[in-house]
A and B are shown apart, each in its own frame.
Chain A
Amino acid sequence: MDPRIEDVELPPPGGPTADYEVALVSLNQWQLAWRRFKKHKLALFGAALFLAMIVIAIVGPLFLPYDPSFVPSFDSPFCEGSQTVKAFSGCPPLTPGHPLGTTGRLRLDLLVLVVNGARVSLIVGIGAALISTIIGTIVGAVAGFFGGLVDNLLMRVVDVILSIPLLFVVIWLSKVVGNGDWRVILLVFSFLGWAGLARLVRSLFLSLRTEVFVDAARAVGVSDTRIIFRHILPNAMSPIIVSTTLAVAGFIITEAFVSFVGYGVDPAVTPTWGNILTGGQEFVGQGNWWWTFFPGVAIVITVLGINFMGDGLRDALDPRSRE
């Protein structure tokens, strides 16, 4: 039955008319973005994975029975007696005292290695992403805002940097200059990794500086510095944040690769996920799958988590997306 006209409830006369009461709480763009992000289950899951990894990296070594700066060689009677695996290829997972098993040869505890490796892997990834973001943002902002000759010069520098094969330079610098020091690798990543972001930020600034609200600010006498920091940068933040997030994953992978091929962080000094893999590769054929499996899983979990989070951030921070 169709409702008759009389059945329709009319608003009481004199009550709130069609005045535009928009929202009870006024939310700014970041609050709205957080609302959208919260609805993105996969992104939340990714962020949780990433955060868990960070927590493990920070507090994990404190709970393990070994000094986090030093991974001791370790003998286990249970391992020696194991019948399933040849003794020299290491103890399998779930060996008492070694939940993830041990490596071969030196019989290092894999849990200790992976947890300690998380520190350097994550520090290099996050640190390089942050430093390169700062450099890239400054360079891109200056180029895009002022344009002209400055822009031309800076963009040629970017072209040069993008044309340098990053891996080759990292391999060369970390061996020759850094002697396997993770700090050198972090800095090399930072100072060679900002160029792509500089281009992105430049293009954002180029388009944002012609926005009408920038003209409006100029018309009331706002200074260039304030226009850059109050008007253009906040509106360019979303792509920058997304790009930084994804750069963390990229740098973790690159570090793992460089360390894996033996030119990255020195495994004798600091374990990283990459150089743990290096040691394990020749033992895979002898049945020791766990040596490469667990650091590999750590990399996959972290990178996947970051990428899920980055995708969620991209959607949440896009002002065109609606709730």
Chain B
Amino acid sequence: MSEALNQTNRAVPQQAGSAIPATAHVDATSRELLLGAYNVKKYFPIMGGFLRHQIGSVYAVDDVSLEVFRGEKFGLVGESGCGKTTFGRTILRLEKATAGKVVMAGQDVLALQGDDLKKMRRRMQIIFQDPYGSLNPRMPISDIIGEGLVAQADKFNGWAKRDIRDKRVGDYLEAVGLRRDYSRRYPHEFSGGQRQRIGIARALVLDPELVVCDEPVSALDVSIQSQILNLLSDLRAQFNLTYLFIAHNLSVVQYFCERIGVMYLGKLVEVADTDDLYAGPLHPYSVALLSAIPLPDPRVRKKRLVLKGDVPSPANPPTGCRFHTRCWLRDRLGNPAECATTEPVLRSLGGTRQVACHFAEKVTAEAVQATVATQDVIETATDD
């Protein structure tokens, strides 16, 4: 803790362009498991009927397992409603999990109660998407950041004492690039980027090991996004953090994360190192998702792999593989029955790569190109 405090005295770069290389790989041999989530499920009940009883469930997160290693930046991507945020909230106990196990430091987070849970919260923190809603408008910054210290005060850290707390709040304000004397101000006096820095300070002030970043930059201006991403990179090195980075912006994830998990409709469909994934995705859904990345050059025309239909309702997900109703590969393979009947498990495909597809080996560049080539015809046909 004292080490962390000393480090906060150094100047924090606020300008974009001072980034630490994002894809610096964690040495595979020295990997230490930090967080293991196993078969995590979160179903939201649908209430209805005459006596408001449960008439169904939204399968927001359905049997997701993933491991995050100490020091890495793990990205979780997927389109809106695929359950990535719910997963992050569930492992932090902000939602009550339906089933599953989350292991952190040898303890099952989902089973903790009372004081044990409170102690665990110190180890895992969250940065929220909305820099406006996440700060209580009635509280000055010092109280917002210091609140965790009050809640987590014990006889070892002395956080119950006002002066110790104020000093620590000031240190972390500086660590996130804000001025120490801003602490008596109120959230409405800050810009969106500054508010997000305050949210980061609130998360880091408890000295966590894991930080769940729930789309921390998607509500910000593009120019501010890079500042915040660089800040997060710097802070990771400074405080030995591990990030679970939830995002839907694929360019941000490519820049920021070392390993990526792709989610679709409550399921994890692919886990891969960033370079591997962007070089060649192996799940048909990942292929479609990556082809949707906009190119910054307006002169370049890119043919996208457009999926048919809409995302099915998570209250009534398709049988078998959840993606089979929209899968271009299944069409190419002549609609094998397996896709609709058997749920594919996440299987290892060499190295750190995991894919949940029966026919992942059939996902090749040629297959993708052939599909895209036939697609324009279909697209115009459906558009008319």
Q: Which residues of A contact B (CB under 8 A)?
A: 20, 22-23, 26-29, 211-213, 215-223, 226, 230-231, 234-235, 319
Asked if B151 contacts A223 (CB within 8 A), the reply is yes
Q: Which residue on B lies nearest to A20, using beta carbons? A: B191
Closest beta carbon of chain B to A187's beta carbon, Å: 33
Could you say which residues of chain B place their CB within 8 Å of the CB of A234?
136, 138-139
Closest to B94 in A: A215
Nearest-CB distance from A221 to chain B (Å)? 4
Name B193's closest neighbour in chain A (CB-CB). Answer: A20
B residues less than 8 Å from A231 (CB atoms): 136, 138-139
Q: Which of B133, B148, B203 contacts A213 (CB 8 A)?
A: B133
Q: How far is the CA of A26 from the CA of B187 in the complex (A)?
A: 10
Q: Does B135 lie at the interface of the complex (its beta carbon under 8 Å from any beta carbon of A)?
A: yes
By a CB distance below 8 angstroms, the chain B residues around A235 are 136-138
> At the interface with chain A, which of B27-35, B123-131, B318-326?
B123-131
B152 A220 Cβ-Cβ under 8 A: yes
Contact between A213 and B186 (Cβ–Cβ < 8 Å)? no
Inter-chain contacts of A215 with B (CB < 8 A): 89, 94, 126, 128, 134
B202 surroundings in chain A (CB, below 8 A): 216, 220
Kindly report which residue of chain A lies nearest to residue B194, judged by CB atoms: A20
A213 to B206, CA, bound (A): 17
Cα A319 to Cα B133 with chains together (Å): 13
Docked complex Cα distance between A29 and B135 (Å): 14
Taking A26-B185, A217-B147 as given, write out 11 further A-B residue pairs in contact, using a Cβ cutoff of 8 Å, ordered by the A residue number.
Answer: A20-B191, A23-B189, A26-B189, A28-B138, A212-B130, A213-B133, A215-B89, A216-B134, A219-B126, A220-B152, A231-B136
Interface residue? B122 (CB, 8 A):
yes
In the bound complex, how far is the Cα of B199 from the Cα of A264, in angstroms? Answer: 56
- Could you count the A-B residue pairs with CB atoms below 8 Å apart for me: how many are there? 84
- Taking a contact as CB atoms under 8 Å apart, the answer to whether A216 and B185 are in contact is no
Q: How far is the CB of A169 from chain B (nearest CB, A)?
A: 31
A219 touches B134 (CB 8 A): no
Instruction: Report A44 CB to chain B, min CB distance, Å.
Output: 24
Residues of chain B having any CB pair with chain A under 8 Å: 89, 92, 94, 117-118, 121-122, 125-126, 128, 130, 133-140, 144, 147-148, 150-152, 184-186, 188-191, 194, 199, 202-203, 206
Q: Which residues of B contact A217 (CB under 8 A)?
A: 136, 147
Asked whether B152 lies within 8 Å of A221 as measured between CB atoms, the reply is: yes
Contact check: which of A22, A213, A223 meets B190 at CB < 8 Å?
A22
Given known contacts A22-B185, A23-B189, A216 and B122 CB-to-CB distance under 8 angstroms: no
Given A28-B138, A212-B133, A213-B136: A220 in contact with B189 (beta carbons within 8 A):
no
In the complex formed, the residue of A with least CB distance to B191 is A20
Q: Are B185 and A220 in contact (CB under 8 A)?
A: no
Q: Which residue of B lies closest to A223 (CB)?
A: B151
| CB pair B138 A29 closer than 8 Å | yes
Contact B134 A212 (CB under 8 A): yes
Given A219-B121, A220-B147, A220-B202, A213 and B134 contact (CB-CB distance below 8 Å): yes
Tell me, in angstroms, the Cα distance from A27 to B187 when the chains sit together: 11
For the complex, what is the distance from the CA of A20 to the CA of B191, rounded to whole Å?
A: 8
Known: A222-B147, A230-B139. A28 touches B186 (CB 8 A): yes
Cβ-neighbour of B121 out of A28, A212, A221, A319 (below 8 A): A221
Let me know if B184 and A26 touch, CB within 8 A: yes
B128 lies within 8 A of A221 (CB): no
Q: What 9 A-B pairs are tightest by C-beta distance, nearest first?
A: A220-B148, A212-B133, A212-B134, A234-B138, A221-B118, A221-B151, A213-B136, A22-B189, A221-B121
Residues of A near B139 (CB, < 8 A) are: 230-231, 234
B137 and A319: CB pair below 8 A? yes
